[in-house]
Amino acid sequence: MPNFTPQKLREIGYELFQKAGCLKKDSENVVDHLVESNLFGHDSHGAIRFAEYLRALREKRFQPQATPEIIQDFPSVAVVDANGGLGQIGANFAMNLAIKKAHKNGIGTVALRNTSHIGRIGAYPLLAARQGFIAQAFVNAGRLGYQIAPFGGIEGVLSTNPMAFSAPRREDNPIVLDMTTSVVAEGKIRVAINQERNVPEGWIIDSQGNSTTDPLKFKADPPGAILPLGGVVGHKGTGLSIMVELLGGALSGEGCAAGDRKMTSNGVLFTVYNIEHFTNLGRYFDLVESLISHVKSSRPGKGFKEILIPGEPEFRSALRREKEGINVDDNTWSDIKKEAEFLQINLST
Ligand code: NAD
């Protein structure tokens, strides 16, 4: 399994995406996002997506040089159509617009459609938190709807429908909660398949509704399904997922789960809050820090060394992987090399 420094992996990505027709700045935008996902430990949204996005460009399902367009504009609300470009381009554009609106008017909400796959959702609220705002994201997968079983059902009808929130801290990295409303992201099943290992109990069921740890059962025909978040109280995960469908899919105009098996685009809703329009900034930071100290004061239970705050696992992973490098499994690497061949780029490790 090849291991790359983050910079080497970025350089490989820049070359591939530019050769596939993307502008230099857009290639950097997309590849930096994906490599940061690997650094954060989310291999499901890292270099594994190089081949997926390049194939979509080759098949002309994504437009390499599309420019996002504001199609509805109010003081605190806008709707953006990304014109079928690479997801990270549209999503960064939309989040920057929401930040601008929040800066001026206290709150900025921007819906985004026709943007393909935007990757790791937490990246966008984090962008706002790094500039001192609190932000949230609700993201569906348009009409795609077959991966996640609803509570009580055995057939997949919903998507993983993630949501993410980020809030700044006085000195430390922001809090980042970035989570699917299913037990796990679909990409993590793909990673397990590529790494030829089983998934933990409680993630998926087979097409007959039996619990299984074999990730290939999820991809079988007829397919299995990922379970909704919440285990025995999975009605809460399904409920959240339905609301994400409406916030991300209906408000953006991208559409809601309707049984499609191929995703055209995420449907996105970002909201940014300007803290100073609500409260004094110093008071806010005092409350964040006392809340975190209070939460961390709980004695850890069996199998836990300490209480972590959302986002801490990712920032720690990034420190580790900056030093140790990023492992790209053999199947993912072989997929990247296949796409490189189409682009007449010779990749060696
Ligand atoms: P996850 O379960 O690994 O993490 C969810 C959240 O829990 C994170 O905020 C993490 O910081 C926090 N966390 C993890 N362990 C913790 C601990 N011990 N203590 C405290 N907090 C902890 O993530 P996931 O739900 O499997 O999602 C993985 C990625 O997939 C996310 O980046 C998500 O945005 C992405 N995703 C994208 C799409 C898309 O369509 N673009 C769809 C689904 C998922």
The pLDDT of residue 169:
98
**Is it true that domain 184-222 has CATH number 3.30.60?**
yes
Determine the distance separating the centroid of ligand 1 and the alpha carbon of 180, expressed in angstroms: 6
Q: Please give the number of the atom of ligand 1 that sits closest to the Cα of 314.
A: 11
Across the range 219-229, mean pLDDT stands at: 96
Percent of the chain's residues with pLDDT above 70:
100
Whole-model pTM: value is 0.96
- Tell me whether the CATH fold assigned to 66-183+227-297 matches the one assigned to 184-222: no
Which residue minimizes the CA distance to atom 13 of ligand 1? 310
Q: Which atom of ligand 1 is nearest to the CA of 119?
A: 41
pLDDT per position as a tens digit, 120-148: 999 999 999 999 999 999 999 999 999 99
Q: Could you tell me if the CB of 176 is within 6 A of ligand 1?
A: yes
> What tokens appear for 292 in the block?
């975190």
Mean pLDDT over 307-325 rounds to 98
Query: Considering the chain, what is the average pLDDT of its residues?
Result: 97
Give pLDDT tens digits for 5-18: 999 999 999 999 99
Domain boundaries, the chain: 1-61+314-349, 66-183+227-297, 184-222
Residue pLDDT, tens place only, 90-114: 999 999 999 999 999 999 999 999 9
pLDDT of amino acid 1: 86
The predicted structure's pLDDT at residue 185: 92
Q: How confident is the model at residue 202 (pLDDT cuts 50, 70, 90)?
A: very high
| 177: its two tokens | 């909660």
CB-CB neighbours of 323 under 10 Å: 7
- In the prediction, which pLDDT does 163 show? 98
Q: Whose CA is nearest to atom 4 of ligand 1?
A: 179
Question: Ligand 1, from 35, 121, 314: best to mutate by most atoms within 8 Å of Cβ?
Answer: 121
Which atom belonging to ligand 1 lies closest to the Cα atom of 188?
Answer: 26
Q: Is the CB of 122 under 6 A from ligand 1?
A: yes
Mean pLDDT of 188-212: 94
- Ligand 1 centre to CA of 177 (Å) is 7
Ligand 1 centre to CA of 162 (Å) is 8
pLDDT tens digits, one per residue of 292-301: 999 999 999 9
Q: Does the beta carbon of 190 lie inside 6 Å of ligand 1?
A: no
| Alpha-carbon gap, residue 85 to 290, rounded angstroms | 43
CATH 3.40.1280.10 assigned to domain 1-61+314-349? The reply is no
Residue 241 has pLDDT above 90, yes or no: yes
Q: Looking at residue 344, what is its pLDDT?
A: 96
In order, the DSSP letters of 257-277 are: --SBSS----EEEEEEE-GGG
pLDDT-above-90 percentage for the chain: 97
Model pLDDT for residues 24-55, shown as the tens digit of each residue: 999 999 999 999 999 999 999 999 999 999 99
CA–CA distance, 227 with 32 (Å, rounded to integer): 31
Q: Is the pLDDT of residue 21 over 70?
A: yes
Distance 122 CA to ligand 1 centre (A): 8
* pLDDT for the residue 240: 98
Distance in angstroms (rounded) separating the CA atoms of residues 229 and 236 = 7
pLDDT of residue 314: 98
Residue 269 β-bridge partners: 111, 138
Using pLDDT thresholds of 50, 70 and 90, give the confidence band for residue 242: very high
Query: Ligand 1 pocket, 177 CB below 6 A?
Result: yes
User: What pLDDT is stored for residue 348 in this prediction?
Assistant: 74
343: pLDDT strictly greater than 70:
yes
CA of 74 to the centre of ligand 1 (A): 32
321 lines ligand 1 (CB under 6 A): no
Please tell me the residue having the least CA distance from ligand 1 atom 18.
Answer: 308
Query: Tokens at residue 22, please?
Result: 């993307």
Would you say residue 349 has pLDDT above 70?
A: no
Question: For 66-183+227-297, CATH number?
Answer: 3.30.1370.60
Cβ of residue 237 lying under 6 Å from some atom of ligand 1:
no
Q: Determine the atom of ligand 1 nearest the C-alpha atom of 164.
A: 34
153-174 tens-digit pLDDT? 999 999 999 999 999 999 999 9
Residues 6+ apart with CB under 8 A from 153: none
Contact 41 CB / ligand 1 (< 6 Å)? no
Confirm or reject: Cβ of 42 under 6 Å from ligand 1: yes
Half-sphere exposure for 62 (CA within 13 Å, toward CB): 28
Got the DSSP string for 133-202? -EEEEEEE-TTB--SBPPTT-SS--B----EEEEE--SSSPPEEEEE-SBSS-HHHHHHHHHTT-PPPTT
